């Protein structure tokens, strides 16, 4: 398992480097920060001083080399807006995104397990058809449209929840409800399919023949074997929540990493944008490794070779007995018909 983990870390280093290079190059395409941070009547000397002070007067390759040198020393630069450390700003915003994504995913998993298991008890029945329709509709609704409609109906028209910001429990309702729909819809389909397959296995019929209740059959036997595919999909959806939180956080004013990225793009704060993207990429990379390890623990069939088991040593051949004799001794004799 440690060998597998080491290989995954090494193989993921190159994508991280590619992401950082891509963001570094694309961020520069948004324009010159001097046009935002200097007055309209700024002279050429003022612009040159601004570029020299922030290292923007060097060629792009030199700037990139300086940035990578700083990253190796855990120095991600400073914000053009506030002069604060870019890493500190990203680390301060990231927990809000993790809290939102984790809370949403926990609620989505609980609801999907309940609805998917309920639908799998009678395939093609009324409950199954209703669950399939609801899950497909939930997975198809765009996040931005649902967020706007939710603000208009529940925040502006009814006044039940605030339109934005982080406060009490009511401030979490609309962001969670918006992010919840897509993972809930996808997980219901996965849980339903896995449960239908598990409930048709012979060991389920054996458990029922021994008098096990329906609740025990579903929770203790079928659900355990259906957890492995659902876990993999849930992990991928969690990664999608972290990435997709950019739109939702911007609409609801949620102070997470997504909103920080959008603000940094609009204000051409290159160092903060690069730190936020790199932190998000590392978090996704760690999450994917944890998903693979959890899946391997749930399903021994997908474990790497040599993980959790020792190879049996082959017994040495006896020097005084020919190989043919050993085979003859270990091979059972054919039955003789009378």
Q: Across the strands, what pairs with 78?
A: 85
Please report, for the chain, the start and end positions of each structural domain, with discontinuous segments joined by +: 89-266
- The DSSP code for 85 is B
Burial of 51 (0-12, 13-18, 19+ CB in 10 A): middle
pLDDT for 312 equals 44
Average pLDDT over residues 244-264: 84
Question: What is residue 234's predicted lDDT score, i.e. its pLDDT?
Answer: 81
Residue 83 CA to residue 89 CA, distance in Å, equals 11
Q: Radius of gyration of the chain from Cα atoms?
A: 28
CATH topology for 89-266 is: MetI-like fold (1.10.3720)
Look at residue 157 and tell me whether its pLDDT is greater than 70. Answer: yes
d(CA 265, CA 272): 9
Beta bridge partners of 85: 78
pLDDT digits (tens, 9 = 90+) for 294-324: 766 666 555 555 554 444 444 444 444 444 4
Q: What pLDDT, on the 0 to 100 scale, is given for residue 163?
A: 82
Residues 6+ positions from 174 with CB-CB distance below 8 Å: 147, 150, 151, 154, 155, 161, 252
Predicted local confidence at residue 300, as pLDDT: 59
Mean pLDDT along residues 85-99:
89
The number of residues making up the chain comes to 338
Please work out, in degrees rounded to the nearest 5, the angle formed at the alpha carbon of residue 193 by the alpha carbons of 236 and 126. Answer: 125
Q: Which residues contact 97 (CB under 8 A, 6 or more apart)?
A: 242, 245, 249, 254, 256, 257, 258
DSSP sequence for 156-223 = IIS--S-SSS--STHHHHHHHHHHHHHHHHHHHHHHHHHHHHHHTSHHHHHHHHTT--HHHIIIIIIH
Checking if the pLDDT of 262 tops 70, the result is yes
Q: What integer pLDDT is reported at residue 152 of this predicted model?
A: 92
Task: Find all residues with CB under 8 Å of 70, minimum gap 6, and list them.
Answer: 76, 77
Closest CA to 293 of 219, 243, 235, 237: 235
Q: What integer best gives the mean pLDDT of the chain?
A: 78
């Amino acid at each position: 398992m440690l060998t597998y983990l080491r290989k995954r870390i090494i193989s993921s280093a190159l994508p991280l480097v590619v992401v950082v290079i891509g963001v570094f190059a694309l961020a520069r395409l948004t324009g010159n920060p001097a046009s935002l941070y200097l007055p309209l009547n700024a002279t050429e000397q003022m612009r040159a001083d601004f570029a020299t002070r922030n290292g923007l007067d060097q060629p792009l390759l030199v700037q990139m080399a300086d940035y990578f040198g700083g990253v190796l020393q855990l120095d991600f630069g400073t914000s053009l807006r506030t002069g604060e450390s870019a890493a500190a700003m990203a680390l301060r915003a990231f927990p809000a995104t993790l809290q939102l994504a984790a809370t949403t995913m926990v609620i989505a998993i609980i609801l999907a397990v309940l609805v998917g298991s309920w639908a799998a008890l009678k395939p093609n029945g009324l409950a199954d058809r209703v669950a399939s329709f609801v899950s497909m509709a939930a997975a198809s609704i765009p996040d931005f449209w649902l967020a706007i409609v939710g603000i208009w109906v529940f925040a502006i028209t009814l006044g039940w929840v605030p339109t934005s910001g982080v406060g009490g429990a009511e401030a979490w309702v609309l962001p969670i409800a918006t992010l919840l729909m897509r993972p809930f819809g996808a997980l219901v389909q996965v849980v339903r399919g896995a449960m239908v397959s598990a409930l048709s296995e012979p060991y389920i019929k054996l458990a029922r023949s021994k008098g096990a209740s329906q609740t025990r059959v579903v929770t203790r036997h079928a659900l355990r074997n259906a957890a492995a595919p659902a876990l993999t999909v849930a992990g991928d959806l969690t990664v999608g929540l972290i990435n997709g939180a950019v739109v939702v956080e911007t609409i609801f004013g949620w102070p997470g990493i997504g909103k920080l990225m959008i603000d940094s793009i609009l204000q051409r704060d290159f160092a903060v944008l690069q730190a936020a993207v790199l932190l998000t990429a590392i978090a996704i990379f760690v999450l994917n490794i944890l998903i693979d390890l959890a899946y391997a623990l749930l399903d021994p069939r997908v474990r790497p070779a040599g993980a959790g088991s020792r190879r049996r040593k082959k017994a040495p051949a006896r020097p005084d007995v020919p190989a043919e004799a050993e085979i003859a001794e270990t091979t059972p004799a054919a039955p003789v018909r009378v």
